[in-house]
Amino acid sequence: MEHLFDTTEVLARAFAAYRINKEVVKDTRRFSEDTPTLFSNKDILTNCLQNTGPTDFIVGTYKTLPEDYENVKEAVAFINKDTALQQIAGTMSNFMETLVAHMNSKVIPAREFGVVALLPKVYFEQKHKKTYKKQIKQSFGESKHIGLPGEVITGELTVNEIKWVDKFGCHVINGNMGDNLVSFFKDFKPEAVLPKVNDVIKVKAKVKRHGENFITKLPETQLNYVRFS
């Protein structure tokens, strides 16, 4: 017989796992005796809700907090509103269709924990994307392309966003030089201190191409061979 679990409790556990791991950990990682096991978000849900798990899994470490339940309410409402037209048109991806169906159900089977464990990531990323889009449109509505492809440029760059891109195995930085939007990929060494949002950095770079911002579609200059100074 398939085990079914209350949706609110499952989703709250998903947010607790994301809060504790600070990200979505896809696979449980075991280290030396001095370093505690890093359990995947899915395994945290499974071990807590099914009351199972290895001897080094301590359930009390993964308690839910009131903020997790509040995030569940906000996430379900936000994603339902954000995908309303797609739901009507039937244009959602298979993953989103499954996620939305489960978060709106009364119970969730254990076999779907891997899907719903991703709800916090989807919610926070979509929410950030909306806020970021609004901010960029308000601040850089007059953005123009700078330099010419192949030209070397120098100046101060303000970091608007930095994130890891799994597909390319490096970070992408979105920023501005003056009133103009720029972006570039950069591979940082493990020991490097990463730039933070609002940091102002002196850069020397080559113009790769003239394109558009991936969210706002405003003119954006894509750089490469970026060096900080």
Position 149 confidence tier, pLDDT thresholds 50, 70, 90: very high
**Alpha carbons 176 and 95: distance in angstroms, whole number:** 34
Of 103, 140, 222, give the one whose Cα is nearest residue 174: 222
Share of the chain above pLDDT 90, in %: 83
> Does a structural domain hold residue 87?
yes
| Structure tokens, 229 | 């100074």
- Residue numbers of the domain that contains 101: 4-127
Query: Helix, strand or coil for residue 180?
Result: strand
> Does a structural domain hold residue 29?
yes
24 and 109 within one domain: yes
100 and 14 within one domain: yes
162 and 108 within one domain: no
> Does a structural domain hold residue 141?
no
pLDDT higher for 175 or 164?
Answer: 175
Domain of residue 159, CATH code: 2.40.50
Strands (E), the chain: 4-6, 107-109, 152-165, 170-177, 180-186, 200-212, 219-228
112 and 38 within one domain: yes
219 and 120 within one domain: no
89 and 180 within one domain: no
Q: What are phi and psi of 55, to 5 degrees?
A: -65, -25
181 and 109 within one domain: no
> Does a structural domain hold residue 138?
no
Our count of domains for the chain comes to 2
> Does a structural domain hold residue 142?
no
Between strands 180-186 and 219-228, the pairing is parallel
Query: H or E element: which one contains 77?
Result: helix 66-82
Q: How far is CA 83 from CA 35, 75, 87, 194, in A?
A: 41, 12, 6, 33
What pLDDT does 56 receive? Answer: 85
121 and 71 within one domain: yes
104 and 45 within one domain: yes
From 112, 127, 142, give the residue that closes a domain.
Answer: 127
Q: CB–CB of 24/117 below 8 Å?
A: yes
192 and 111 within one domain: no
218 and 159 within one domain: yes
The pLDDT tens digits of the residues spanning 14-58 come to 999 999 999 999 999 988 777 888 999 999 999 999 988 888 888
Tally of CB atoms within 10 A around 68: 19
Mean pLDDT across the chain, nearest whole number?
A: 94
Q: CB–CB of 80/104 below 8 Å?
A: yes
**Alpha carbons 119 and 117: distance in angstroms, whole number:** 6
Q: What are phi and psi of 45, to 5 degrees?
A: -60, -50
Position 207 confidence tier, pLDDT thresholds 50, 70, 90: very high
**Alpha carbons 226 and 206: distance in angstroms, whole number:** 7
> Does a structural domain hold residue 122?
yes
Whether the CA torsion 5, 125, 187, 166 is positive or negative: it is positive
107 and 206 within one domain: no
**Alpha carbons 135 and 215: distance in angstroms, whole number:** 11
> Does a structural domain hold residue 143?
no
**Alpha carbons 48 and 115: distance in angstroms, whole number:** 16
> C-alpha angle 175/179/185, rounded to 5°?
20
> Does a structural domain hold residue 202?
yes
| Structure tokens, 191 | 């020991």
Which of 52-61, 116-125, 150-159, 176-185 has the least mean pLDDT? 52-61
What pLDDT does 1 receive? Answer: 65
